[in-house]
Amino acid sequence: MEEKISDAIKAAIEAAPERKFVESVDISFTIKDVDLKNPTNRIKEEIRLPSGRGRELKVAMFAAGEAATKAKAAGIAVFSPQDIEDFGGKKGHAKKVANKYDFFLSEVPHMGLIGRHLGTVLGPRGKMPRPVPPTLDPAVLAAGLSSTVIVKSGDKMTFHASFGTVKQSHDELLANAMEVYNRVTNKLERGIGNIRSLYVKTSMGPAQRIEVIN
């Protein structure tokens, strides 16, 4: 399968028209014979990509005091407890913020406040904050997230994940793609036997089908 995925990555990048922005490279799964009505069968994996995401991710933190100071020093955007309450009355602004950042962190005491005022905005986007205990430097957690991708199916048989950008080398993209592929297939009861189809594509380019032999 590694050779097939390698060929698909090459074909996807060669077929992608030149853009004025850096396209991501995605892998798309369609699975079969899996009861996704049962939440325990759903795919939800946080995967650390060995070659990184190929782009800088935006991380924000809900914090005050010393934690806010540490976060700002690490280049993390900071929102105060008052900001959280303000977001509750400004859903439009809250949605813009939710879409702007890839990941959110929060001091533990603010998690309840976030749930009340931002749960309906961040929850559906899969962006509820990761709690940061007082003993952990938020910079360390943010650094780990910079190479992390979340792969989730929800209740849909087709789902996809970005595993890099066209600016990365072929070997880097292949290592990332194989990490995602292996993690997903290992979560399926029959492995590749539960995969109906598999594609690789750039953000705006044509999809390259990967032959799946069960």
Report whether 172 contacts 164 (CB < 8 A). yes
Q: Is the pLDDT of residue 142 over 80?
A: yes
- Full-prediction pTM beyond 0.85? no
174-207 confidence digits (pLDDT tens): 999 999 999 999 999 999 999 999 999 999 899 9
Specify the CATH number of the domain 59-145. 3.40.50.790
Residues 6+ apart with CB under 8 A from 66: none
Identify the CATH number of the domain defined by range 2-54+148-210. 3.30.190.20
Of residues 165, 151, 175, the one with CA closest to residue 204: 165
pLDDT at residue number 143 = 85
210 beta partners: 198
Average pLDDT rounded to a whole number, residues 134-149: 88
- Encoded tokens for 115: 């749930």
The 10s digit of each residue's pLDDT in 74-129 is 999 999 999 999 998 888 999 999 999 999 999 999 999 999 999 999 998 889 99
As given in the structure block, the two tokens for residue 93 are 């602004």
- Asked if pLDDT for residue 32 goes beyond 90, the answer is yes
Mean pLDDT of the chain: 93
CATH 3.30.190.20 maps onto the chain at 2-54+148-210
The arithmetic mean of pLDDT across residues 60-67, rounded, is: 94
Percent of the chain with pLDDT over 70: 100
Write down the pLDDT at residue 56: 84
Nearby residues of 203 by Cβ (< 8 Å), 6 or more positions away: 19, 23, 24, 26
Residues contacting 154, CB < 8 A, separation 6+: 36, 42
For residues 88-125, one letter each, b for 16 or more C-beta atoms within 10 angstroms of the residue's C-beta and e for the rest, the string is beeeeebeebbeebbbbbbbeebeebbeebbeebbeee
Domain with CATH 3.40.50.790 in the chain: 59-145
